[in-house]
Structures are given as structure tokens and as C-alpha cells.
Structure 1
């Protein structure tokens, strides 16, 4: 009877260690993408961090339900989107708006930083129905089919929304690019 208990304990510990490694692999693989997406959704660094943490908490609890490792990214994005929606169900206090977090440019030039903020501002100004598929494509590199699955929409609807989002963004940025062209010669 004693060896049987040791075997069972060993199996339980082994299973827990496998789950821990599996979870750590998910965190390592998708942490940056999830944070970027959360930030795009809420435009607040600390809220984005909280949403990602809640996403990982829910993912840990439901990790055994993830059958296909190739679907892990979509699975985590779905959890994150639902977690973001839950924050609106909770009581919200009035907050003072602050400037959007600026992403540092690779070349460090002020012009590039200004352009990035301008693009981010215009993407943020898009209606959610256009902004969300565009962000899923730009940040996560999801295909039209994957976005359709993620947002539970028809692929044609997704492609139309992506087309309209790009056109709205192009129209919004057109005056900025013309102004930049005049300034730089």
C-alpha cells in the first residue's frame, strides 16, 4: 500500500510540473503580444498590465482545456478580450486623461516619434469595429480567417472592415503626409 501512494504522489507532482512548464512556455511566447494588444484596447499602461495578469490567471485555471497548442495564441487573445470587457462590468471611477504612451522610435528621431504618435492617434480614433480587426492584423499578424474566428464574424465582413479601416487611416494621414512633404522639401 505504501509504494502505491508514492507512485500516485509522483504522478501528481509530475503532472503539476508539466502544467507549469506548459504555462511558462505560453507566457514566454505571447507576453509581449498580449501586452501590446491590451494597451491598444485600453490606452493605459497599468490597466493593460492588469488585464494581461488577469488573462494569465484565467489561462492557468483553464490550461487543461487547451487541446490544440497551435490555437494557444487565439485562445489567449479571446481570454484577454473577455477580460477587457469584464472591466466595464466593474465599477469605474472617473479618471483624468493623460497623454498616450509614446513608443520610442528605433532611430530616435523626433520626427519618427511624432509620426508614430500620429498614426497611433488615428488608429485609436477609428470605430472599434474597424480598429479591432486592424490591430489584430497589424500587431498579431493574424490572417483574415483567424480574425474572423477571433471576433466571431464572417471572413468577408472582416476583410471589408480591414479595407475600410485602412482607407480611413490613409485619409486621416493624408493631410499629415502632405504637410510633412512640404516641410522637408
Structure 2
């Protein structure tokens, strides 16, 4: 078979199984963007290794097995990248420069000053969230309001803080 004919045949297989592979990829990872990457990688690997397909199972089953491996590989790659970034951030925070320390302290002071200018209901949620690292549910219980109210107040407080920062720094 000529390369052009092989490509046409493979394109037909992709059209036939594309939706199934995408849905299965989304099932595997729960993230649409990552699922798209998994589906693309699945079809690339299938094209590259189609000569290894023996027909012991259906073509769809074979594709799903490739998708499982692609998902595992992509998630391991992401995990490794995350680990490298985390280590880099820790190294930066462990050996901060004098400038970094000054600006970090300056910004903390400035943000604290802005938080104190906010209405009390916004101050409460920001302090409990940022300073005391409380969850939405914990804040809601402590303030005796709904979780939705806490989320709304946090959102509005952050907007107000951002607006103050923008006015100060242009």
C-alpha cells in the first residue's frame, strides 16, 4: 500500500474513533486540555505503531490501551515538571536576595494597610483565608454564613485590594 493510501485509511480510523478516544481521555484525567493532549498522543502513537496491532482485541480497545499509557506518561511528565518548579521556588525562597526580602516585606506591609481599609466583612474573610489558612467551610462555620457568602466576600475583597494596588502603582 502506498503512503498516501495508508494515510487515507488511518484518517478514516481517526474519524471513526476520535470521539470515543477523546471521551475516554477525559474520563482518564478529568481535564479537557489534558484530555486533548492525550487523544492527540494516542493517535500519534497508533499511527507510529499500527504495524504492531495484531487484532487480538478490537481496534478501539487497542486505542484505549494506548490512551491509558499516554495519560500515564503525560501525567508523570507534568508531575516531574511540577516537582522541578516546586524545588526551584523553594530554592529561591530559601536564599532570598536583599532586594527580594525588602520588596516582599514592603508589599506585605502595603497589603496589610489596604486590608485594614476594607469593610469589616471583607477583612474577616481575607485574614482567615490568608493569615490563618482556613478553608472556605471553616470560615463559613466561624462567621456563621454560607460557603457561597464566603466565596463572594473573598472575591470582592481581592478585587478591592487589586484596585487599591493598581491606584497606588499605576
Taking structure 2 as the reference length, the TM-score comes to: 0.43
TM-score when normalising by structure 1: 0.40
By relative contact order (CA 8 Å, sep 6+), the higher-ranking structure is 1
